[in-house]
Structure 1
Amino acid sequence: MTGDAGGIPAVGEAVHDSARDRVGRVMGHVGPYIQLRPLTGGREWDADPHHLRPLTRAELLSARVAEANARSRQPG
């Protein structure tokens, strides 16, 4: 991970939560948990840092494409 030396992901980093099989962006750290939010927005969830891993290049590209597609479908 690109966060601190203890392996905690940095705020803003995109990670995979294996406990929920979801991808999210790190929004913060509270107590023993990491707060994640879906890349396309929505409700945050708490994740155990032991279940997080950085995205591969392919996963990150796929997530960014999904994020752009979701934005393009929004009215406005």
Structure 2
Amino acid sequence: MATTDREQTTLEPEECDLGSVVWDTAKDLPGVVMGHHGGDRVQLRPMAGGKEWEARSLRHLTAREWLRLHVAARNDASRKGL
């Protein structure tokens, strides 16, 4: 059963696959993994696009967060006629 509580299990940057969505706990924001830097940082991009940032403190998304983000993305694409 998926949990809706925030899991405090942290991820090491090298455990993050390119293109995956993770939560930056320092900024309290989700981001798409765009690259790795020196083994201790990843470069994240906002879900809807925008300026990338570097992050070190990461965790997996909860089931609730994942669902909320994906529904928002589908709704946005639908509004744009995509």
TM-score, length-normalised on structure 1?
0.76
Uncovered stretches (5+) of structure 2, i.e. residues with no partner: 1-8
TM-score, length-normalised on structure 2?
0.71
Greater Rg by CA: 2
1:1-76 alignment, distance < 5 Å: 8-31=15-38, 32-48=40-56, 51-74=57-80
Q: Which SS does the other structure have where 1:41 is aligned?
A: coil
Q: How many residues align?
A: 72
Uncovered stretches (5+) of structure 1, i.e. residues with no partner: none
Percentage of pairs with the same residue: 43
Within 2, Cα distance between the matches of 1:25 and 1:41? 9
The 8 Å contact of residues 14 and 36 in structure 2, kept in 1 or not, is answered as no
Runs of 4 or more above 3 Å deviation: 72-76
Q: Return the offset for 1:70.
A: 2.8
RMSD between superposed Cα atoms in Å: 2.5
